Amino acid sequence: MHLETIVTAVVAGMIFARLAAELWLSSLNCRHVRAHAGNLPPAFRDFMGQAAYQRSIAYTLARQRFGNVEAVFDAMVLPAVLFSGVLPWTFHFFSRELGQSPWAMAACLFAVGIVLSLLSLPFDWISQFRLEQKFGFNTTTQRTWWLDRFKVLLLALVLGYPLLVLILKIVAWTGPWWWLWDWGAVVAFQLLASVLAPVLILPLFNKLTPLPDGPLRQTLLDLTRRTRFQAKSIQLMDGSKRSRHSNAFFTGFGRFRIIVLFDTLVAQLSESELEAVVAHEIGHYQRKHIPKMLVFASVSLLACFYLAAVLVRQNWFYRAFGFAPGNIAPALLVLALLAGTFGFWTSPLINWWSRRFEYQADAFAAQVMGQTRSLVGALRKLSQGNLSNLVPHPIYSRFYYSHPTLLERETTLEESLNADAFEEKL
């Protein structure tokens, strides 16, 4: 058997193995959720009625069914794109019409990415205007939704296309060590985008206004001072323009850092609960979760670029997908298309790490507040308001969830004020 045939079989096998795993995990979770659908578990009776619980069950199952359809579609499209010959034909067309300069090859990569993103548009639309609409979350209009997609396309053209050109030019400039230089360029771009996002990108999609003077603003400013968290401002974001889901986050670095509160969150929570939520976000900063994740992401990216450097020297890798060896652009595209398939199998480890960070940020918030009731109250309201799955199957949640379940967080929060016991548990 030729090596190219083996590669084709392995890649196709991994794509369908991922689909099988996704469908099995989904089935496992759905059965578990249905088994707990009859009666509201005692742990949730203090803050949720039976009707709200049944609604969260229905939302969970509806999203699960929709996700299954999307997973099957993706698993059909990806092998078709990789093995039908459409990619070699596309590269041949661009090479014939535009040549093989970095600008032309980047245009080819960009065009393929746009076409593939168009295939996912119907799912995005149905999710927003059918599923989210059915459960009362959608507040966006057709005009806003399509305008958002147009803005994303423009950003990809203004920022993504030049980055693709730079990546391909670096290959030509730096020889065998191109992968190291490309890694540095991409990391630098990501850091620059993180700095500019709150100033240039976020305002393109949402209106940010300073949190009005009043008791809430003063409480949050006092919180930033006593936690030594430097923030340029506290901004209110019109999240209700698109959805009734709520959130809070901080973005940017140094003097560009801002705290962002969804207007839906401010309407939903009390002052002390909002303070606890912001304290949780500050906890991520104080426990250095952001730089840890950035370092991990950078090291992972470096490993990916090194793997790409190894594979692009193998003629069998090109031939397995129908390309003639030589041009690095199609090899990079194939690897980018397969990144999700390979990354799927590492997601449980990454999510385990993320859940540890969430526990630590919860503990920080409890210790800063001197009590747990504010954060517990906020988590309960957010879970109920967002129709979160309160009874996921343990295997499903361990595989997919980047945050612990509500019950896990409440249980661990009770131990968080005892720092020694909490650290021993983690």
Q: What backbone phi and psi angles, to 5 degrees, belong to 140?
A: -85, 160
> Per-residue pLDDT tens for 182-215?
999 999 998 888 877 777 888 889 888 988 888 9
> Could you list the residue range(s) of the whole structural domain that residue 268 is in?
139-296
Asked if residue 42 is part of any domain, the answer here is no
Sheet containing 233-237: give its strands across: 208-210, 233-237, 258-262, 248-251
Residue 68 contacts residue 26 (beta carbons within 8 Å)? yes
Q: Among 191-205, 218-232, 336-350, 379-393, which is the least confidently predicted range?
A: 191-205
Angle between helices 50-83 and 3-35 (to 10 degrees): 170
Structure tokens at 6: 């083996």
* Percent of the chain whose predicted confidence (pLDDT) is above 90: 67
402 and 359 Cβ atoms separated by less than 8 Å = no
Structural domains counted in the chain: 1
Does position 426 have pLDDT exceeding 60, yes or no? no
- Which tokens hold the place of 9? 């079989």
- Residue 229 confidence (pLDDT): 86
Q: Kind of pairing, strands 208-210 and 258-262?
A: unpaired
The confidence score (pLDDT) of residue 307 equals: 92
At residue 201, the pLDDT reads: 84
In a domain, residue 286? The reply is yes
235 found inside a domain: yes
Residues 6+ apart with CB under 8 A from 138: 128, 129, 132, 242, 243, 244
CA 316 to mean position of chain CA atoms = 33
Looking up residue 287, the CATH number of its domain turns out to be: 3.30.2010.10
pTM over 0.85? The answer is: yes
CB atoms within 10 A of CB 422: 20
Residues recognised as catalytic: 281, 362
CA distance 86 to 223: 56
Banded pLDDT at 73 (limits 50, 70, 90): very high
Q: Is residue 370 part of a domain?
A: no
pLDDT at 418: 65
Residue 149 in domain: yes
Q: Mean pLDDT throughout 118-145? A: 94
pLDDT digits (tens, 9 = 90+) for 95-127: 999 989 999 999 999 999 999 999 999 999 999
* Band of pLDDT at residue 250, cut at 50, 70 and 90: confident
pLDDT at 317 over 80: yes
pLDDT the model gives residue 231: 77
Whether 399 is covered by a domain: the verdict is: no
Angle at 117 between CA 75 and CA 263, to 5 degrees: 110
Please check the confidence at residue 76 and state whether its pLDDT lies above 60: yes
pLDDT digits (tens, 9 = 90+) for 362-386: 999 999 998 999 999 999 999 999 9
What is the pLDDT averaged over residues 327-331? Answer: 91
39 pLDDT exceeds 90?
no
The beta strands (E) that lie in 37-169 are given as none
- Residue 18 falls within a domain, yes or no? no
Per-residue pLDDT, 1: 52
Check residue 45 and report its DSSP letter: T
Flag whether 87 is in a domain.
no
| Averaged pLDDT of the chain | 90
